[in-house]
Homo-oligomer: A and B are copies of this chain.
Amino acid sequence: MAVTSQANAQEVAAVKKDAVRDKSVYSPVQLSRIDHTPTLPAVLQGNFKLNHGPPTTAAGQPEEIQKLFPCLYGQPSVQLVESDAPTYNVDQKLKVGVVLSGGQAPGGHNVIAGFFDYLQTHAPGSVLYGFKGGPAGIMRNNVVEITADFLYPYRNQGGFDIICSGRDKIESPEQFQQAVDTVTKLDLDGLVVIGGDDSNTNAALLGEHFRAKKVRTHVIGCPKTIDGDLKSPEVPISFGFDTACKIYAEMIGNIMEVNAQKKTLRQVTNSIADIVCKRAVAGKQYGVVLIPEGLIDFIPEIQHLISELNDILASQGCDDHGHWKATLKPSSRALFDSLPHSIQEELLLERDPHGNVQVSRIEMEKMLISMIETELNARRHEGGYSGQFKGQAHFFGYEGRCGMPTNFDATYCYALGFAAGALMHLGQTGLIASVANLTAPAAEWTVGGTALTQLMDVERRKGRNKPVIKKAMVELGGAPFKKFASVRDVWAVEDSYVSPGPIQFAGPTADETNFTLKLELGASVNL
């Protein structure tokens, strides 16, 4: 087992001991899950070969992507299809590494389990290293060998505990050289990068760099993010999204649901107040409004106000008598004056080390409650509302990120990891493992690898062209949003909510995937 220092060897031993000891403190549900065996897609159950597609291009600016990826650009995506006999070198033992990159998503452990089991099944005697703490583990060659015993207690479990994750980025020439040094020292055939859009962009850059420097290590990515914004026709969903959907849905289901979306702060406030009034008339003095976390980023007038406030705070500061307000543009001044006092205070008090307002710390949900209260009081005064309004804010954050994976995520992740092993074994690099046909039973899922460059576009950052995998935004013309739009007005006024209940691992409902994916893939959904 290759380690960089004596201290590291001791650390690895400690981690192994921990993993065994921890097993005794697992909960009954965790223990019962450890022995759950995810179904493999049929194509991965037997022998398989590669079917190469046509040369690929890019999601945008292909000439620029080609300049950035001279070695990898244009390579075909591949599909795995049934074969009579193994198409890999049956005597080859692999030395490979795996890294978890970025925030946790339920199912990460199963990607590693699938990858490990691929090696055990098709390349016994192979060695799998886990890089600890994310990409920093690659740069510092901080590894643990993943063995069957070490891996066992993490199978089908939530979190990224097995080797932990990190948000460091391999960016500078020195850092790329550190990565080369590590994979050379460990003599790696391949590296699997489990991460989101940025991490997979990085995986492609690493693969390109290794190829350019004639380093023999291949790189395969796996799509991870609970946000659901890393997807394409070939990669229909990232793992973790299904579990997070269902955890948040249970929590919201426990307090009921209604939804709203509009453009300016005044419009948002008024449209919610309208719904509150309508429901009050119908005797429904209750309801739930879902506010997306990034809402504040999509209200331009707030952005303008904040930017003016930053300038004022940086130059003249704010006097106690409010004379500074005269410096605001009239529209910003009007907006500021319309805000509840507590939010005005937040805007003036909370500054980051650079003196800027910390937008992310402004509690949008409380601000809206406060503004809706004000609006409803005004309407009450004019006779337009006679109900009782009392707002209650709930913020749902990390609760969904570290839950135990659903059956769908457990199965999907296991297939992704197994596929990554197969792609690597068959000499592929610069691909993202892609498992599709996901509304069919798991045995019928299709498996392949998509050229990472095919998912890329170029953005200009700090005067340089940077490759990026475009974030998938909610498509207003897509099936899930259209379905939502078709029921939105009814949901706003009637009590049309489904309480999904807690995630089940057994029983008739355990293998259902989420409505968003079903709708995106053209399956029918009964809302």
A349 within 8 A of B: yes
Q: Across the interface, do A254 and B398 meet the contact criterion of CB distance under 8 Å? A: yes
**Chain B residue, CB-CB nearest to A11:** B283
Tell me the smallest distance from the CB of A267 to a CB of chain B, in Å. Answer: 28
How far is it, in angstroms, between the C-alpha of A32 and the C-alpha of B500 when the chains are bound? 11
B32 touching A507, Cβ below 8 Å: yes
A402 pairs with B27, CB closer than 8 A? no
The answer to whether B501 touches A504 (Cβ under 8 A) is: no
Per-residue contact bits, chain A 32-64, to B (CB 8 Å; 1 contact, 0 not):
110000000000000000000000000000000
The answer to whether A397 and B392 touch (CB under 8 A), given A30-B501, A32-B508, A507-B506, is yes
Q: Residues 504-516 of chain A: 1 if any B CB is under 8 Å from the residue's CB, otherwise 0?
A: 1111110010000
* Contact residue among B26, B29, B392, B395 (Cβ-Cβ distance under 8 Å from A502): B29
Interchain CB contact under 8 A, B499 and A30: yes
Interface size for A (C-beta < 8 A) is 54
Given contacts A502-B503, A509-B28, contact A398 B392 (CB under 8 A): yes
A447 close to B (CB within 8 Å)? no
Please indicate the chain B residues that have their CB under 8 angstroms from the CB of A527 in the complex: 25
Residue A386 interfacial (CB < 8 Å): no
Residues of chain B within 8 A of A395, CB atoms compared? 394-395
Q: For residue A29, which residues in chain B have a CB less than 8 angstroms away from its CB?
A: 500-502, 504, 509
- List of B residues within 8 angstroms of A195 by Cβ: none
Rounded to whole angstroms, the CA-CA distance of A30 and B508 in the bound complex is 11
Does A404 make an interface contact (CB < 8 A)? Answer: yes
Residues of B within 8 A of A397 (CB): 392, 394
Is A498 in the interface zone, CB < 8 Å from B? yes
Most buried by B among A29, A247, A404, A508: A29
In whole angstroms, how far apart are the Cα atoms of A398 and B397 in the complex? 16
A244-280: contact bitstring with B at CB < 8 Å (1 yes, 0 no)?
0001001101111000000000000000000000000
Q: What chain B residues lie within 8 Å of A247 (beta carbons)?
A: 254, 502
* Cα–Cα, bound, A353→B450 (Å): 62
Question: What's the number of copies of this chain in the assembled complex?
Answer: 2
In the assembled complex, which residues on chain B have CB atoms less than 8 Å from the CB atom of A28? 508-509, 512
Chain B hits for A509, CB < 8 A: 27-29, 32
Q: Which residues of A, 436-460, contact B by the 8 Å Cβ criterion?
A: none
In the complex, residue of chain B having the shortest beta-carbon distance to the beta carbon of A254: B402
The one of B33, B157, B320, B403 in contact with A250, judged by C-beta atoms closer than 8 angstroms, is: B403
A29 nearest in chain B by CB position:
B501
A476-504 near B? 1/0 per residue, CB < 8 Å: 00000000000000000000111111111
- Which residues in window 392-423 of A have CB below 8 A to B? 392, 394-395, 397-404
A259 CB, min distance to chain B CBs, angstroms: 16
Closest residue of chain B to A350, judged by CB? B342
> Contacts of A24 on B, CB cut-off 8 Å?
526
- Candidates B26, B320, B394, B505; contact of A498 at CB < 8 Å: B26
The listed residue (B256, B392, B404, B501) touching A27 by CB distance below 8 A is B501
* Nearest residue, chain B, Cβ from A320: B320
Say yes or no for A329: interface residue by CB 8 A criterion: no
Given contacts A158-B254, A505-B504, contact A25 B399 (CB under 8 A): no
Q: Digit string of A127-164 for contact with B (CB within 8 Å is 1, else 0)?
A: 00000000000000000000000000000011100000
Asked whether, in the complex, the Cβ of A506 is within 8 Å of the Cβ of B506, the reply is yes
**Does B502 lie within 8 Å of A502, measured CB to CB?**
yes
Cα A256 to Cα B159 in complex, Å, equals: 10
Shortest beta-carbon distance from A159 to chain B in Å: 8
- A304 part of interface (Cβ distance < 8 Å): no
Bound together, the chains give a CA A93 to CA B250 distance in angstroms of 41
Within 8 Å CB of A341, what residues of B? 349
Given A27-B501, A341-B349, 11 further pairs, Cβ under 8 A:
A26-B498, A27-B499, A158-B254, A250-B502, A251-B399, A254-B399, A342-B345, A394-B395, A502-B502, A504-B504, A504-B506
Could you list 24 A-B pairs, sorted by A, with CB under 8 Å?
A25-B496, A25-B527, A27-B498, A27-B499, A28-B509, A29-B502, A30-B498, A30-B499, A30-B500, A32-B508, A32-B509, A158-B254, A159-B499, A247-B502, A251-B399, A254-B399, A254-B402, A254-B403, A342-B345, A394-B399, A403-B501, A502-B502, A506-B506, A506-B507
